[in-house]
A and B are shown apart, each in its own frame.
Chain A
Amino acid sequence: KQEVTQIPAALSVPEGENLVLNCSFTDSAIYNLQWFRQDPGKGLTSLLLIQSSQREQTSGRLNASLDKSSGRSTLYIAASQPGDSATYLCAVRRSYGGSQGNLIFGKGTKLSVKP
């Protein structure tokens, strides 16, 4: 059974710091891995999607890496801003029996960036 774990559960940093969020998964047979952002009481916004054959993806100040063999992904946020404050969720799509809409999520990391 695929399980996704995110560490830490919560993180508070001062503005301007670079930070890393971690995601691990128990079954390396994934189709892809996706990072989402969720603001309080809101839906999810896709940030980055990494296919199983890729090692990393970048978008602006965000960089996500994937090491499928070790079952790990990291989300790197450069020069953090108060507007980055949100919960960040990691989700995997299984290679077998999964689909684009059938994802397995971690519990998320709640990030707070202090001005």
Chain B
Amino acid sequence: DAGVTQSPTHLIKTRGQQVTLRCSPKSGHDTVSWYQQALGQGPQFIFQYYEEEERQRGNFPDRFSGHQFPNYSSELNVNALLLGDSALYLCASSLRYRDRAPSGANVLTFGAGSRLTVL
């Protein structure tokens, strides 16, 4: 059973450019959350998608946007990149309504992340 897969694993961009990161949730999960983890810091919640809509959002500017597709996969887009956007971007998936999940299936599952470097 495949877990959460993210692509690309590493990428380098320059200031002002735009980037798209992709996430495929764990099989059976319908909710995707995105986190930013700067070096030496804990992950910070960016936003969460369910039923193709943004449901919750953390304290991130509008340069950060996302999308969820009918197959539950998701994209994170960052426009006008800044040096401070350099970080590990983590995707996590889950099942929104626990009572629909077999026991033990509804665990928040993280991908390995996409490492973004902005020069």
| A and B associate in one complex | yes
Q: How far is the CB of B64 from chain A (nearest CB, A)?
A: 15
Chain B residue with minimal CB distance to A107? B42
Within 8 A of A (CB), among B64-119: 88, 90, 92-94, 96, 106-113, 115
Contact of A89 among B42, B45, B92, B94 (CB under 8 A): B42
For chains A and B in complex, what number of residue pairs have CB atoms within 8 angstroms?
62
Within 8 A of B (CB), among A67-105: 89, 91, 97, 99-105
Residues of B within 8 A of A (CB): 4, 31-33, 40-45, 48, 55-56, 58, 88, 90, 92-94, 96, 106-113, 115
Q: Chain B residues near A43: list those with CB within 8 A.
A: 4, 90, 110-113
Q: Chain A residues near B88: list those with CB within 8 A.
A: 41
Given A41-B115, A43-B4, A43-B112, the answer on whether A102 and B90 have CB atoms closer than 8 Å is no
**Interface of A: prevailing SS:** strand
| 21 A/B residue pairs, CB under 8 Å, sorted by A | A41-B88, A41-B115, A43-B4, A44-B90, A45-B110, A46-B108, A46-B109, A89-B43, A100-B31, A100-B94, A100-B96, A100-B106, A100-B108, A101-B45, A101-B48, A101-B56, A101-B93, A103-B45, A103-B108, A107-B40, A107-B41
Q: For the side of the interface on A, what is the size category? A: 20 to 34
